[in-house]
Amino acid sequence: MHVFVTGGTGLIGSAVVAELLGNGHTALVLARSEASARAVEAAGAEPLGGGLDDLDVLRAGAERSDGVVHLAFSNDFSSAEAVQRSVAEEAAALAVLGEELVGSDRPLVTVSGTPWVPGRVSTEADPLPTDGLVGGRGRSVTSALALAARGVRASAVRLPRTVHDEGDGGFAGLLTQLARQTGVSGYPGDGTQRWPAVHARDAAVLFRLVLEQAPAGTAWHAVADEGDAVRDIATVIGRRLGLPVEALPEEAFGPLGPVFAMDQPSSSAHTRETLGWEPTQPSLLADLERIEP
Ligand SMILES: NC(=O)c1ccc[n+]([C@@H]2O[C@H](COP(=O)([O-])OP(=O)(O)OC[C@H]3O[C@@H](n4cnc5c(N)ncnc54)[C@H](OP(=O)(O)O)[C@@H]3O)[C@@H](O)[C@H]2O)c1
């Protein structure tokens, strides 16, 4: 398949592009800068110059492809306003990508987060939250999945709180950044709340399987570790960086504080059983051992 990929230069997207190229596909990758275009070429794919707000470029990329994998997101969590801007930009981009594929039966694989359900582990059958700070992303993905009724093989890969590589990435990566800035490896609440995780290379395999096989309108969980206690994550970070490990108030974590404080374990039993996906890469706690002071 010739696949149009957005976000193909990111932590997850670069693993997805490598996975596609290693399994008989070719990739056309959105690149918003010269540096990104060079990275795409170095990976062996073709860059398509433009950003998420270049809607004509997105249309052209989708039109030239046999399927689309959408991963680009600004990931600016510095303020609630910045997050809202990113969510709105992504919503418009995803709508354009989906419209371009209507009636073609081509796949559109988009990304979202695993849902959280109070008191139990979430599954693929649980709906995405559509309220709260990033609820708009849930609404965008739900609209994309509804394109199943209009001849798009739309599907979603739901990612856990931390998608990691070399100890970096996701919520655990944000904890590491904060620890470096403040000199304390902090965690919110009592630290027993659990966050699920997956290695980027394992997630990439699932993106490929979903692109190749998933029926229209389906959602899948790229979860390798069902849930690590956040205090355990902060403990490894503190030890690796030589910093004290302490409980901190939610406000210390910025707009994501309330999300950080929630217990949100998630299962991928249905995904593993149905698509034959089996993670093989290091767990989050093992991968965090790679971070350096
Ligand atoms: N990492 C995680 O733990 C995690 C967990 C849950 C969900 N996710 C989601 O998974 C997706 C990929 O995450 P990631 O960790 O791989 O992110 P990342 O490393 O920050 O990469 C983001 C990618 O999106 C591109 N991008 C950002 N804004 C863009 C714009 N306005 N126009 C065009 N391209 C743009 C970046 O391009 P440049 O290379 O040019 O900057 C890069 O390729 C995101 O939707 C993210 O929210 C990630």
Reduced to 3 states, what is the DSSP secondary structure of residue 188?
strand
Residues with CB under 6 A from ligand 1: 7-13, 30, 32-33, 36, 51-52, 71-75, 111, 113, 159, 162-163, 169-170
Give 58's pLDDT tier (boundaries 50, 70, 90).
Answer: very high
Which of left, alpha, beta for 208 (phi over 0: left; psi -120 to 50: alpha)? alpha
pLDDT at 72 over 90: yes
Pocket-testing residue among 38, 73, 97, 287, ligand 1, by greatest number of atoms within 8 A of Cβ: 73
Query: Could you tell me what percent of the chain has a pLDDT over 70?
Result: 100
pLDDT in tens, 151-166: 999 999 999 999 999 9
pLDDT of residue 79: 85
Residue whose CA is closest, atom 23 of ligand 1?
7
Atom of ligand 1 nearest to the CA of 12: 16
pLDDT at 83 over 90: no
- Is residue 94 within 8 Å of 140, Cβ to Cβ? yes
pLDDT at 275 over 80: yes
Dist CA 293 CA 290 (whole Å)? 10
270 CA distance to ligand 1 middle (Å): 26
pLDDT in tens, 210-250: 999 999 999 999 999 999 999 999 999 999 999 999 999 99
CA nearest neighbour of 48 among 25, 24, 72: 72
Give 132's pLDDT tier (boundaries 50, 70, 90).
Answer: confident
Residue whose CA is closest, atom 27 of ligand 1?
74
Residue whose CA is closest, atom 6 of ligand 1?
159
8 CA distance to ligand 1 middle (Å): 8
Dist CA 250 CA 254 (whole Å)? 8
Give the containing element (helix H, strand E) for 9: none
pLDDT at 75 over 80: no
75 CA distance to ligand 1 middle (Å): 6
Residue whose CA is closest, atom 22 of ligand 1?
10
pTM, entire model: 0.96
87 φ/ψ angles, rounded to the nearest 5 degrees: -65, -40
Atom of ligand 1 nearest to the CA of 89: 31
pLDDT of residue 256: 87
Residue whose CA is closest, atom 1 of ligand 1?
170
Long-range contact set of residues 34-40: C-beta below 8 Å, sequence gap at least 24: 36/9, 39/9, 39/14, 40/8, 40/9
Arithmetic mean of pLDDT, 244-260: 93
- What is the total residue count of the chain? 293
Atom of ligand 1 nearest to the CA of 31: 40
pLDDT of residue 273: 98
Give 80's pLDDT tier (boundaries 50, 70, 90).
Answer: confident
Reduced to 3 states, what is the DSSP secondary structure of residue 88?
helix
pLDDT of residue 78: 82
Q: Which has the minimum average pLDDT: 26-35, 79-88, 204-213? A: 79-88
pLDDT in tens, 25-49: 999 999 999 999 999 999 999 999 9
Arithmetic mean of pLDDT, 46-69: 98
Give 134's pLDDT tier (boundaries 50, 70, 90).
Answer: confident
Tokens of 272: 């593993």
pLDDT at 66 over 90: yes
Q: Angle between the 135-146 and 80-101 helix axes, to the nearest 10 degrees?
A: 0
Arithmetic mean of pLDDT, 88-116: 96
